[in-house]
Structure 1
Amino acid sequence: MAKDYMPPSDFLRDLIDEDVEIEADDEATIARLLTLFRDADAANRDWAVFLLGQSEADTKAVRAALVAALDDADDGVRAEALVALAQRDGDLARPHVLEALSAESVYPTLFEAAALCAHPDLIKPLRGWLKATGDKEVDQLVVEAVAACEASAK
């Protein structure tokens, strides 16, 4: 996310400004973030998914909301949801990563999600992205994702 990209939600801005870690047992904050996954404003949805993704919260409700966010109309929200899901359950995220790798363009976080999944069936589609982005930092993410997946094959 761009440094100056802020959500309109006062609640989300307060969480961001206070720079506090969301505790996994903070049910009220997590519930409020999950509600914002369905907000009309894409920036609110994006930040809610991002902030929850940075937390240790991992319940059935959190995973279900992350899976639902994979169908969001906004590319950024989907990308954040995929990384957050891969952090919690690589097997659940893997088919979504595989599908996303077949797109013509992707968010760089897709390669982070692929590395988190670290599964051999991602190697071939990832190799198709090697040096394909033209961005050295993103290309490095692809290299790291391929390495993680190759390591899991051993």
Structure 2
Amino acid sequence: MNEFYQPASDFLVRVANGEVPLTGTEFAEHNLRLLIGYMGDADTSNRDWATLLLAGLDVDTAEVREALLKATQDQDASVRAEALLGLAERDAVLALPLVERELEGSECGSGTFQAAHAIASPLLLDGLRKWAGQGSSDWIDLEINDAISACEAARVENT
């Protein structure tokens, strides 16, 4: 993503800028439901940003987990990756098989590698090693290597 990448939706831009409350009041809860609704939008930038924003939100409800879980099936790798990261930060056990599946695919967003790092399971090593040196930029290769290191450290701790 380049630094000018923004969602098509003005609502999502306002959420990203911290101008729209998402928790604490009935109005904010309505906004949260709108945010979740954008995760199914026809525009990829809206789905990507809505998933990113929800994943980063410090809210862990059944509705949030369900929305993130559904987004792991999105056609866009970046959307799936954001959802995986959000799930990994909430429930590593739930996210583990989903990250494993994603690593076996032909396209992974950077959030997938961040999710693998957060989970830090040796079960992810084979899938991560497949991606080593295959990132589209140096910073993604660094994320892949960091995830491999975290998973290897977990293997050592478990022996």
Q: TM-score band (shorter)?
A: 0.7 to 0.9
1:46 corresponds to 2:48:
yes
1:81 corresponds to 2:87:
no
- Please report how far the alpha carbon of residue 81 of structure 1 lies from its aligned counterpart in structure 2 after TM superposition: 1.0
Q: Secondary structure at the match of 2:131?
A: coil
Q: How does 1:2-151 map to 2 (within 5 A)?
A: 2-18=2-18, 22-23=22-23, 26-133=28-135, 135-151=137-153
Once residues 82 and 46 of structure 2 are traced to their aligned partners in structure 1, the CA distance between those partners, rounded to angstroms, is: 12
In the alignment, residue 13 of structure 2 is paired with which amino acid?
A: R
Measured against aligned partners, the alpha-carbon deviations of 1:24-78 in whole angstroms (never above 9, x if no partner) come to: 7742332221111122222111111111111101111100110101111222211
| TM-score normalized by the length of structure 1 | 0.87
**For the Cα contact (< 8 Å) 1:24–1:55, is it kept in 2?**
no
Once residues 37 and 47 of structure 1 are traced to their aligned partners in structure 2, the CA distance between those partners, rounded to angstroms, is: 8
- Please report how far the alpha carbon of residue 93 of structure 1 lies from its aligned counterpart in structure 2 after TM superposition: 1.1
Q: Secondary structure at the match of 1:128?
A: helix
Q: Is the deviation greater in 75-84 or in 47-56?
A: 75-84
- Structure 2 residues without counterparts, runs of 5 or longer: none
| TM-score normalized by the length of structure 2 | 0.84
Q: Secondary structure at the match of 1:96?
A: helix
Once residues 114 and 70 of structure 2 are traced to their aligned partners in structure 1, the CA distance between those partners, rounded to angstroms, is: 20
In the alignment, residue 16 of structure 1 is paired with which amino acid?
A: A
Question: What fraction of aligned residue pairs are identical, expressed as a percent?
Answer: 38
**For the Cα contact (< 8 Å) 1:6–1:43, is it kept in 2?**
yes
Name the count of aligned residue pairs.
154
Measured against aligned partners, the alpha-carbon deviations of 1:65-115 in whole angstroms (never above 9, x if no partner) come to: 101011112222112111111111111111111111112332222111110
RMSD: 2.2
- Structure 1 residues without counterparts, runs of 5 or longer: none
**For the Cα contact (< 8 Å) 2:8–2:46, is it kept in 1?**
yes
Once residues 91 and 121 of structure 1 are traced to their aligned partners in structure 2, the CA distance between those partners, rounded to angstroms, is: 12
Q: Secondary structure at the match of 2:2?
A: coil
